[in-house]
């Protein structure tokens, strides 16, 4: 019996999770943009004052942008096989409409791999923070359609999401 | 001029962001369930083997569950006004169909406030990890409809999302 | 020679750093207030608009309050022998005058030891964030007189700083 | 084909990694002791002065005890399915001999599950720090025989390692 | 009504907090020195033995230096818009007098932006740790006059604090 | 009396712990390999199925590899005087025999100092996770002989452990 599991184990590196090896890649400037929609409901979206949504815990959007920025810097702690990268810039843009918000997050690095996960994580945590700041008013808030909008700078070429 | 900004500052505690004070609340058992859908595309969803999706970096779902579990424990680090809570249990359930996965995350605590944000964060980071493990195959993966399914144990009563 | 260092080592628990043992203490409600002054210079203090100081990187005080709140939750990660405590509330109050700001930070827990270090750390990181948000305008900003204002709830009795 | 992977997925909660549910357990006082040996070589062990080993980066044992203490508080961040627990006390004891050191780490909590992993992690990171502080002198340092010495307070009864 | 908040939102990127974009800057060697004073009172300052202050929890200054060093590496986690930078060196210098200590912290990096915040944070957390190690003896300890002493290596030229 | 402690303090930088200054070193590609043995007992080692050990909390080895990978990225947070380094690759290899497992961890960076501590920490946390995943079956599991196997790329030349 010993043999059978030993021979199975021989392949243990093949099936196991692992980082992508980027040690041989060139370091260059890379950007990624991710986007998410938060459906707040019309009652909440009306609470706009002083350039922000005023929720029961304070200004919603500024808190979300700060939380998103800090989460971008934590991406490689959250996503097991993400490489740590020197974040050189990030920008959030928030576009409201009658029922909710679109949060767009752009991240820039100079590194050996891209910042897609950083942009996705930043948009995600900003949206979760909007949820947290507003959930006392509406537990049915939905976070919709998180996706990568574009990326530039990788060896595999630039990427642009097709409009659905 | 001095006066005008001083009087404005008088109100600085009103408009500023702040935690909810839970120090006077009872500690009791609370649960929350959140759910998210990951649209992977039919090509990826076919890579099912050994009870998991086999991606280029390794087993996708187990990695996602581990990342989601660790993120649940980090929720109060990510969401600025979340209270730290002793996580006593969390469970992930993953339901596949022809085009993607539904990830459901349930969290339990005994504490003075609920674990909605923990469940939402766990589902979110599990979905981001699925994205990361599969993005070499398809950058157009979308993370859809993250929402709270239910919560129990709070003073404001239990909550159950209505089926859309 | 062997002997001499062995006998010295016998005392190694006496001289070494260690946490205070709180396992035998009662858990009760405790608060602490800390305060710090940030001397910004009259030019910066004039940039008051929309209930906040508008610095080159955005709203200064709200960013400082968010950073301070998140730092309070990280206190036991920063201070080697601090016990982790369930933070139940924290409040920042900011009082401006012609040359700077006073930042006051109050923290509440229900636990076996006090939250002095949490209040001190929160005030400290809020002040550092003010510095960071304004340093492009004035590198000579000084952070002055951080101290404990009061504490309640410990076995050793309440504490109130004497007015200097 | 769709069916086959769906039925496999039906069992996805069975095989996947998960925390133990402790929400129904009693909270009580628990301790655990772990121990590890660091084989430094006789040259390093002679550098004893001022109640500590003096390495090229500074006092070895005090640095190791501080790092170990901080790691104990990070255990649930490092070990995926560890529950976060309120650490109420920890103690390090270091016993030298002619060739190396034994590091013993004791942790106390009041909680719903034990602190074995905290004691094991504390001993482990203290030993790694000894390695780091001394590696410029000897890269062949070995960290030997990390194990649980004892635990008390759990439902399954106390545990005492048998002497090998 | 819809229009009015939409037009306000148009400016949402202008007023919101954001990182400085450093992606176009040159990477070069940079240093910063920060300084803080801790007023301990004459009773505590007398507890000098074995090259350190001996407090009730152990050696004060070595613990403070270790905590300060670890905090320097955490700066971009604490200060929302700080960029993560590769810390290449840090040094603490502690100068006592009859009533307290001056803590000086110097940080070096090779990067696209400066390490002022790292030096300020390191000095700050070292001072907070001194407070924590001594507060059982004197709660009235004050942390005074944290400021930047000098910086080198940035595009905007070197900086040297004027002596007050 | 004042004088005596002042002159002692004059030397405070000499005896205090400190990072090695790497700011003047060249950045080049570096690898390190560390290895540890986990003695599980023959009963546990038989639970091999689906290319992994199936423990009561789920698949042991994959969880250990993920935990080890995440710990590698946290090394400079755990070990006080470690420099933060951009991890570009890491690989785990696990070799079973009749009584336990050997875990081997290889780390690659391009940086100014080596990744010995990252490899040692990765192997260590992977072993601790194996312990955690199996401790319900056997508390007497031992973690044996953690050591550096090899390193390449440093100025001091490559290192290869001699076979004991």
> Which site among E66, E69, E77 would you substitute to test the D interface, given the most D Cβ atoms closer than 10 Å to its Cβ?
E66
C53 vs B16, higher pLDDT: C53
For chain E, give the percent of residues with pLDDT over 90: 74
Q: Band of the pLDDT at B164, cuts 50, 70, 90?
A: low
The pLDDT value recorded for residue D48 is 77
Segment E71-115, tens digit of pLDDT? 999 999 999 999 999 999 999 999 988 899 999 999 999 999 999
Q: Which helix (H) or strand (E) holds A29?
A: strand A28-39
The Cα A77–Cα A74 span in angstroms is 5
Distance (Å) from the alpha carbon of C130 to chain E's nearest alpha carbon:
9
pLDDT tops 70 at residue E164: no
- The neighbours of chain F, by the rule of 3 or more Cβ pairs under 8 Å, are A, B, D, E
Res B5: pLDDT = 39
User: Which CATH homologous superfamily contains domain A27-155?
Assistant: Molybdopterin cofactor biosynthesis C (MoaC) domain (3.30.70.640)
If DSSP states are collapsed to H, E and C, what string results for F71-97? HHCCHHHHCCCCCCCCEEEEEEEEEEC
Q: Note whether F156 contacts B: Cβ–Cβ < 8 A.
A: no
Question: F67 pLDDT band (50/70/90 cuts)?
Answer: very high
Distance of residue B21 Cα from the nearest chain C Cα, in angstroms:
5
Would you say residue E138 has pLDDT above 90?
yes
Task: Tell whether C41 is within 8 A of chain B (Cβ).
Answer: no
Using alpha carbons only, how large is chain E's radius of gyration in Å?
Answer: 20
Minimal Cα–Cα distance from F22 to chain E, Å?
Answer: 5
* pLDDT (tens digit per residue) in F19-61: 999 999 999 999 999 999 999 998 898 887 777 888 888 899 9
CB contact under 8 A, E46 and F5: yes
Q: What is the CATH number of domain C26-156?
A: 3.30.70.640
CB of B78 less than 8 A from some CB of D? no
Answer yes or no: do C146 and E143 touch at CB < 8 A: yes
Say if D59 is an interface residue toward chain E (CB within 8 Å): yes
* Residues in contact with E145: Cβ distance below 8 Å, sequence separation at least 6, in sequence order: C142, C143, C144, E35, E36, E37
The neighbours of chain B, by the rule of 3 or more Cβ pairs under 8 Å, are: A, C, D, F
Q: At what angle do helices F116-134 and F60-72 cross, to 10 degrees?
A: 150
The set of chains that have 3 or more CB pairs under 8 A with A is B, C, E, F
Neighbours of B61 (CB within 10 A): 26
Nearest-CB residue to F16 (from E92, E109, E110): E92
CA distances from A109 to A29, B44, C158, D120 (A): 6, 29, 50, 38
pLDDT grade for F15, boundaries at 50, 70 and 90: low
Q: In this structure, what token pair is assigned to residue E113?
A: 């932006």
Distance, CA of D108 to CA of D151 (rounded, Å): 10
pLDDT-based confidence at C11, cuts 50/70/90?
Answer: very low
Which pTM does this prediction carry? 0.94
Quote the pLDDT of residue A161. Answer: 95
Pairwise CA distance, residues F15 & E98, whole Å: 22
Structure confidence at residue D164 (pLDDT): 58
Half-sphere exposure at residue E59, Cβ-oriented, CA atoms within 13 angstroms: 27
Strand partners, C147: C35
Could you tell me the two tokens for C137?
Answer: 């305008």
Task: Summarize pLDDT for C58-107 with one digit per residue, the tens.
Answer: 899 999 999 999 999 999 999 999 999 999 999 999 998 889 999 999 99
Question: Count of C–D CB contacts within 8 Å?
Answer: 74
pLDDT of residue C24: 95
Put simply, whether E89 touches D (Cβ < 8 Å) is: no
The reported pLDDT for the residue numbered D15 is 57
Judged against a pLDDT cut of 80, whether residue A82 lies above it is answered with yes
Could you tell me which of D148, B116, E34 has the C-alpha nearest to residue F138? D148
Just list the catalytic residues of A: 132
Q: Could you confirm whether E132 is annotated as catalytic? A: yes
Residue B5 token pair = 């900004």
Domain boundaries, chain C: 26-156
So which residues of D are the catalytic ones? Answer: 132
Listed in order, strand segments (DSSP E) in chain C are: 28-39, 48-49, 52-55, 58-59, 87-96, 100-111, 142-152, 159-160
CB of B77 within 8 Å of a chain C CB? The answer is yes
The correct answer on CATH 3.30.565.10 for the domain covering B27-153 is no
Chain A neighbors of F74, CB-CB under 8 A: 77
How far apart (Å, rounded) are the C-alpha atoms in residues B105 and F10? Answer: 58
pLDDT of residue B15: 56
Distance CA D163, CA E160 (A): 62
Exposed e or buried b per residue across C44-60, where buried means at least 16 C-beta atoms within 10 angstroms of its C-beta: bbebbebbbbbbebbbb
CB contact under 8 A, C23 and D61: no
Residue of A nearest to F101 (CA): A9
| Inter-chain touch D151–F145, beta carbons under 8 Å | no
Catalytic residue among C14, C52, C97, C132: C132
Residue B42 banded pLDDT, cuts 50, 70, 90? confident
pLDDT at C26 over 70: yes
Of A159, A29, A47, A36, nearest to A102 by C-alpha is A36
Smallest CA–CA distance, residue B50 to chain F, in Å, is 6
DSSP code string of A49-71: ETTEEEETTEEHHHHHHHHHHHH
Predicted pLDDT of residue E3: 36
Distance from CA of A88 to the nearest CA of B (A): 20
Q: C88, B112: Cβ pair inside 8 Å?
A: yes
Question: Cβ contacts (< 8 Å) between C59 and chain A: which residues?
Answer: 62
Chain E residues closer than 8 Å to D59 by CB = 62
- From chain E, the residues in CB contact with C105 under 8 A are none
pLDDT of residue A14 exceeding 80, the answer is no
Q: Of the CATH numbers 3.30.70.640, 3.40.50.300, 3.40.50.12160, 1.10.3470.10, which one belongs to the domain with range E45-154?
A: 3.30.70.640
Contact B42/D at CB under 8 A: no
Averages of pLDDT over runs of 10 residues in chain D (164 residues) are 38 68 95 98 84 87 96 98 97 92 97 98 98 95 98 90 78
* Length of chain B measured in residues: 164
Of F50, F51, F63, the CB nearest to B66: F63
Q: C70 CB near a chain A CB, below 8 Å?
A: yes
The reply to whether CATH 1.10.357.10 applies to domain D37-160 is no
pLDDT at B54: 86
Does the distance separating the beta carbons of F70 and A77 come in below 8 Å? yes
Distance of CA B157 to the CA centre of its chain: 21
Distance (Å) of CA D158 to CA D31, D32, D117, D163, E16: 10, 10, 15, 16, 56
* Among the partner residues E70, E88, E94, nearest to F83 by beta-carbon distance: E88
Using a CB-CB cut-off of 8 Å, the residues of chain A touching B121 are 128
* H or E stretch covering E152: strand E142-152
State in words which class domain F26-157 has. Answer: alpha beta
DSSP D23: T
pLDDT surpasses 50 at C152 = yes
More confident residue, A96 or A151: A151
């Amino acid at each position: 019996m010993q043999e059978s599991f030993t021979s199975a184990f021989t392949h243990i590196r093949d099936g196991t999770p692992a980082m992508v090896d980027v040690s041989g890649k060139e370091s260059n400037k890379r950007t990624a943009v991710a986007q998410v929609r938060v459906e707040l409901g019309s009652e909440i979206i009306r609470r706009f004052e002083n350039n922000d949504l005023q929720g029961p815990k304070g200004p919603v959007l500024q808190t979300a942008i700060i939380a998103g920025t800090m989460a971008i810097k934590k991406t490689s702690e959250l996503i097991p096989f993400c490489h740590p990268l020197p974040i050189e810039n990030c920008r959030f843009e928030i576009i409201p409409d009658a029922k909710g918000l679109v949060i767009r997050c752009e991240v820039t690095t100079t590194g050996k791999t891209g910042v897609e996960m950083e942009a996705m994580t930043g948009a995600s945590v900003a949206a979760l923070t909007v949820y947290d700041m507003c959930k006392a008013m509406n537990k049915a808030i939905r976070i919709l359609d998180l996706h990568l909008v574009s990326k530039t700078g990788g060896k595999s070429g630039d990427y642009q999401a097709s409009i659905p």
